Structure 1
């Protein structure tokens, strides 16, 4: 028995009810055109997953019902089973639901049972989990729906849908990741097709976890798994990376793109249900199935094969290798797609970045260039939505302009500025200019010494004292203040240029300012509060320095940008102090007292492995003990926690960053820890010192400061 099944990935936008409805209908139309009999969409696709506290508003639920009414009445949804997502209030509690519709009727409503409530997610803040497993109640429909369907109530709860030829079960996003996933019990009770509607965000090196779980579920259990996922930025820090897939019996049959500018993407597969039944003929599976508790079946009078036992002429979809991107490709594609969504939906005319000549702003600029490459590719491929957005952004909505050359398009929408002072080097100035020229950005070069002198002059007039750099005999306080003056003025000047550069070029509108502080610097607090790290959005705020270097090395060849090698060769430096008598360049790693590789390790242990100072020391003694003494490791751990603690307050004002790394210190959404710490950690550090003194020294090179980090 052959049938066609479909999973979708959509670029939905929180609270864009009209746009979301159009994209849902377009995906259904594509599915039907392919002969599909079942369409599955992403989680909460009607209002958009990222509504956050708007889910607490009655308006969000009301407008979701209004959109569902449009879907029920549309000719597009006829003769196909559709699985769509929306919030529903049942007995005064709001649930995250899937609504199964067919031919103008609601078949059933399946509320989510297991909530995502850690990391980036706060589902329990908005929704109630359905805790009545294998139980169904009747849900009274709103009057607007009754008038369309003629139904008064519909089944609401943990049930499955039985058609004439198969049984369909619903699983929602997080439920796949739980130890006792619903698909296990559903499969034992005869469910053959599992749908999963997801809003799973992108994180470096994360996709394989989803793929492995789906392959394992269908390999051991047997069955067809339809995984639909949101794609793009729907209004917050997360980028949802699509990668919709269809699996059967442990093999991936179809895969959607992980990074795409398309608003709607549909994947399909022609599958033989008999292959599922053959896979399930093992004796042990049959014994467990016979003992399983039954689900209530909601009967749907249709066949997914369209009434034909066999579709003549249709070739069954064969398994293939799943396509994974390397981390470097993920950095090139994920933030670039996010930036395109941010730009087109913000109704601005482009991006602006203070280009310092260092690797962080270089990486950010290269990601913008990657975005321009993706836009050009999509436009040349005839993507009408991309072309419409491009023409509106460049101020030519009624033209035939096509961004065929990414450098030319970059020159229209990307603006860079080197803001030098007397402490800046000719090398960084030249690297910034050369990079802007290589990618086609509109570049401005200026000196800020007059502004810096004016601010210092104000202080001198008021206080009667003139601060000096440390190399000129000043104190630490003077030295830090003089550096911060330069850094904060760059933010002020940057925003002025972002607002006025389009005007100066004879255009209208304004630019979004990009930040370029990486995740390790944020973790360490190695940035000035309200300096040029303060911006509208930070594409690299969730990426480690180590990964950024690998990305730049990749982009040098992949994007044909030889200039990038000079950024890799340069010593990371803020260039905020004069060069001293020793002619040594100001080094970020020297000033931080730790390497970027060490910071990545500290970050993962602190956040992902949930280590405090004492347990982090214990783990690092095992990892680093062959080349560092316990005392040396203790000093590194204590220094990290002290500097992290005294700078934690900076995370309360950090620029919204595209989430990419599992140890992001962003306290606005992801890392809910205090910002006022007992920074000396007296008890914890004393315990570390006591243990360090007792442990043997296993270091092969006592006194070595080199830390070997993968």
Structure 2
């Protein structure tokens, strides 16, 4: 006869330092778990305080309030008769640890600290926590917890839970990704159920890695694997994308959504322990790990007719779907928690700002679907945003008109075509759209300069110098930023409506690499949903939006060459293009960005790789020119990344220096030694070439 157990894991939209809201969501998830017959409930990493507390982890308040929440959980009748596994920070011997606390019926069973830390990319866990490298010690509980549990000490360390019918072992987030994953030894030691509480963020094309790791973990040693994850924006640039799941012996048998507006999602699965034991055969070794015995069973005696969950196929989202869903959910979390009444976007009629507009439209589609599905929390949040307690959205386009304002900011250098493209897209998505001519403001600023200096700068086309040409472009861009914030603060006031708007930016990740934007222009905004997405992916996303949302205006936008429209028109037509200004294509920039960040290439090693990657289209000398040009632009403009708008993190080559890319912002832009190495290599490979290489320096 089988030993069938019902287990629960969840995705929670926790918010850093929102102890009250986090407590409510934890309790709701436990209640749902019990209602589905689960005897074990797993939650995300650091769910009590929120994963993204950052330097708030240094504060004693964070530790204190986490224990206060833990006491509420222990006292709640909701947590009775189910093993609860929650995450919180704990200080032991004056050292902070990222911990799981497992408890049952007002008794703490064990505290398991994280042993392998995430300390790369977006993560700096070793800034706040130490990895646990001991076995098991006794932890003296705070007095407020002793009063509830009647316990003085509990086991603290690398140990597992042994119930009357099975054995449960814990992993925490990055430990799954580590080559020394604890589940390997635990599986060999007879642990049958592995749990992983995570705060794993979304990146394009990443979900399959996570799923494959979990499938692989149970394929190698057999076993049941529960995965819980944070969901939503908890106060930073990353979006945690859920995907709670249950696997057994290499198969996924239950899964949650990757992108969802539900604050609480609980996944339960009924699985047969005998399936694990049959799968393992003679694989296990004698028990080596410390066990904490619990007088509790996850299974019931009479379970012959209890059906078990069968393997399912995981259908992964395409990158275009990920762009449509991830940043949209991130924007909604930011808007509903910011206290603002909507968004304002400078809409230029180009690919980037149109992509941002389409993400907002996708957000409105998701909101309307959630309301139709009777999601009361979403409806309550929408009503709070629009300041109308009776409002109920009927259509995404209608909702878009309530919370989204777009504006086209024209100058004498703007073409009628871009103006029309912006207007047509705004009409199709339903945003409240404005056409604003900013020539008066630009000329007013230049007039002040002229009064002070007696000089009036000119564009290249009118005989001006490089300095004049750049300054005239920048003043237009910066005036747009000032006006964007003015209209964001007062446009609802002018329409007799309450609240203000968040300004959205729309600089893509490739432009950030080279600094191809004006510092403090309209790329300076409150948040930027596309700041971590490449131009190539954005174009594919707009093609997707044409079909998915019937936004036919995007066809003309996709057909037009990207342009800043900051220089005079030629016979009424745009003569300035982004790729010509940057000196390289967007696809070239994506390749360079990945080599710079992911492959950790400097100028010389990048040249050595690109001469092979681009051998069919560029000569070694042309590759050298591209590499040198990029590093000059990158190092000259790196300072701009210190003020870049907080962006949705979607690419592993993001140059965001605030968290992800910790490189200097003051460089020797000549790169003399590095460029000389490139020159020497070109000369070695082309001994017949007599061309002087000095112009490449």
Normalised by the shorter chain, which TM-score bucket? over 0.9
C-alpha displacement of 1:580: 3.9
Match of 2:31?
A: 29
Question: After superposition, where does 1:576-587 map in structure 2 within 5 Å?
Answer: 576-580=566-570, 585-587=575-577
Within 5 Å, which residues of 2 pair with 1:141-540?
Answer: 141-282=141-282, 285-286=283-284, 289-290=285-286, 294-305=288-299, 307-308=300-301, 310-397=302-389, 399=390, 401-540=391-530
CA distance in 1, matches of 2:303, 2:435: 66
- 1:108 and 2:110 correspond: yes
Q: 1:408 to 1:14 in 2, by over 3 A?
A: same
Alpha-carbon contact 2:348-2:409 (below 8 Å) kept: yes
Alignment match, 1:547: 537
Name the CA distance, whole Å, in 2 between partners of 1:649 and 1:188.
Answer: 51
Deviations 1:566-617 (A, max 9, x none): 1100110000010247966210000100000000000000000000000001
Instruction: Provide the C-alpha distance between the structure 1 equivalents of 2:34 and 2:467, rounded to a whole number of angstroms.
Output: 69
How far the C-alpha of 1:228 sits from its partner, in A, is 0.2
Confirm or deny: 8 A CA contact 1:226 1:246 kept in the other structure.
yes
| 2:13 alignment partner in structure 1 | 11
Q: Distance in 1 between matches of 2:261 and 2:572?
A: 51
Q: Distance in 1 between matches of 2:574 and 2:497?
A: 44
Q: Which residue number corresponds to residue 618 of structure 2?
A: 628
Given that residues 565 and 574 in structure 2 are in contact (C-alpha distance below 8 angstroms), is that contact kept between their aligned partners in structure 1?
A: no
- Matched residues in 1 for 2:443 and 2:412: separation? 11
Give deviations 1:210-234, integer Å, cap 9, x for gaps. Answer: 1111111100110000000001000
Contact 2:414 2:569 in 1 (8 A): no
CA contact (8 A) 1:630 1:693 kept: no
Higher mean C-alpha deviation, range 186-195 or range 310-319 = 310-319
- Matches of 1:633 and 1:417 in 2, distance apart? 40
Indicate conservation of the 8 Å contact 1:192/1:276, yes or no: yes
Kept in 1, the 8 Å contact 2:415–2:573? The answer is no
Please give the alpha-carbon distance, in whole angstroms, between the structure 2 residues aligned to 1:617 and 1:478.
Answer: 34
TM-score between the two structures when normalised by the length of structure 1: 0.96
Distance in 2, matches of 1:496 and 1:196, equals 47
Aligned counterparts of 1:100 and 1:472: Cα–Cα separation in 2: 73
Alignment match of 1:668 (pick from 658, 665, 668) = 658
Q: Deviations over 1:280-320 (max 9, x none)?
A: 014xx24xx24xx6111001110001x32x42442110001
Structure 1 vs Structure 2 CA RMSD: 1.2
Within 5 Å, give how 1:560-575 maps onto structure 2: 560-575=550-565
Give the superposition deviation at 1:627. Answer: 2.5
- Partner SS state of residue 442, structure 2: helix
1:49 corresponds to which of 44, 48, 51: 51
Once residues 304 and 582 of structure 1 are traced to their aligned partners in structure 2, the CA distance between those partners, rounded to angstroms, is 75
Q: 1:692 Cα shift?
A: 1.2
Whole-angstrom CA distance in 2 between matches of 1:496 and 1:475: 32
1:641: which partner in 2? 631
Q: Which runs of structure 1 show a deviation greater than 3 angstroms over 4 or more consecutive aligned residues?
A: 580-584
Out of 598, 603, 607, the position equivalent to 1:613 is: 603
Q: 1:697 to 1:320 in 2, by over 3 A?
A: farther
1:647 counterpart SS class: helix
In 2 relative to 1, CA 180–106 (structure 1 residues): closer, same or farther, beyond 3 Å?
Answer: same
CA distance in 1: counterparts of 2:23 and 2:385, whole angstroms: 24
Q: Is the 8 A contact 1:523 1:603 kept in 2?
A: yes
Render the CA deviation track for 1:87-137: whole Å, top value 9, x for unaligned: 0010000100000010111000000001001100010000011011xx110
The CA distance in 2 between the partners of 1:115 and 1:454, in whole Å, is: 55
Residue of structure 2 aligned with 1:118, choices 117, 120, 130: 120
Q: 1:365 & 1:505 partners in 2: Cα distance?
A: 21
Task: State whether residues 377 and 404 of structure 1, in contact with CA within 8 Å, keep that contact through their aligned partners in structure 2.
Answer: no
Work out whether residues 631 and 693 of structure 1, in 8 Å CA contact, stay in contact via their aligned partners in 2: no
Say whether the 8 Å CA contact 2:45–2:197 is kept in structure 1: yes
Separation in 2, partners of 1:578, 1:697: 45
The gaps in structure 1 that reach 5 residues or longer are 699-710
- C-alpha contact (below 8 Å) 2:112/2:159 kept by paired residues: yes
Pairs aligned (count): 686
CA contact (8 A) 1:617 1:634 kept: yes
* Partners of 1:193 and 1:472 in 2: CA distance: 74
SS of structure 2 residue aligned to 1:209? helix
Contact 2:408 2:435 in 1 (8 A): yes
Cα distance change of structure 1 residues 69 and 378 upon mapping to structure 2, 3 Å threshold: same
Gaps of 5+ in 2: 689-697
Deviation at 1:323, TM superposition (A): 2.1
DSSP 3-state at the match of 1:230: strand
Counterparts of residues 77-92 of structure 1 (less than 5 Å): 77-92=79-94
Matched residue of 2:101: which SS? strand
CA separation in 2, counterparts of 1:510 and 1:583? Answer: 36
